Amino acid sequence: MTVYAVASGKGGVGKTIFALNAGAALSEMGLKTLIIDCDIAMANLGQVVNVDSKTEYSLHEVLASEVNSGDAINHTSYGLDVILSSVSLVGFLEADMEKLSEVLKDVVERYDFILLDTATGLSQESLIPIMVCDEVILIVNAEFPSIVDAQKMRLIAESMGKRVRGVVINRVSGIKRELGAKKCGGIARAGYSGRSSGG
């Protein structure tokens, strides 16, 4: 079983959609897969996933020690399972993100893969999933702000002893000002301190 943190530095790069698509693909291959929406402040997974049987509990209640992890597992039409976060501000205030490792211990034996859909930026919601994962997948867009922020996240992940499994360049439209795949991958892996006029 492998736990991946799907991360980035910048918001809006498509982490949630990538996690959902990757999870659906893994499930289609016969691998038991769980996605956990770890963005307990700005939850999005519940807005884009089709849930067949939705529980009344979210990750917030699990992190507040009100219910067990299994009570918050939802089954989807894609064949994978999800633990959603709530949009409740009260739930957010009561949730203790540091209990995420306990959540994983409760469900780890049930799945082949667990994907942690992380929050944006450098916060408890984005860093704790990296601390408890096995490997990190960075999601970037083909533009400098996204690449530079992902580079910071890569350095932080490596400082925690976590391997960055790969960099996914998302939302590529082929316009001239976009960076090329080689440059995006190189910057995210090795850092960047300069300027470029194109891909």
In which domain, by residue range, is 147 found?
2-190
Residue 113, H or E segment: strand 113-117
| Residue 145, phi-psi category: left (phi > 0), alpha (psi -120 to 50), beta (remainder) | alpha
Q: Which of 32, 23, 11 is nearest to 123 (CA)?
A: 11
Q: How far is CA 195 from CA 9, 51, 174, in A?
A: 19, 44, 20
Mean pLDDT of the chain: 85
CATH of the domain at 15: 3.40.50.300
- The share of the chain scoring above pLDDT 90, in percent, equals 54
Average pLDDT over residues 103-112: 94
Residue 94 located in a structural domain: yes
Specify the DSSP class assigned to residue 42. Answer: S
Our count of domains for the chain comes to: 1
| Residue 23: inside a domain | yes
**pLDDT at 195 exceeding the cut of 50:** no
In this structure, is residue 196 part of a structural domain? no
Say whether pLDDT at 62 is over 60: yes
The pLDDT value recorded for residue 171 is: 62
In sequence order, what are the residues at sequence separation of 6 or more whose Cβ sits closer than 8 angstroms to the Cβ of residue 193?
A: none
Instruction: Indicate whether 197 belongs to any domain.
Output: no
Tell me if 195 is assigned to some domain: no
What pLDDT band is residue 172 in, cutting at 50, 70 and 90? Answer: low
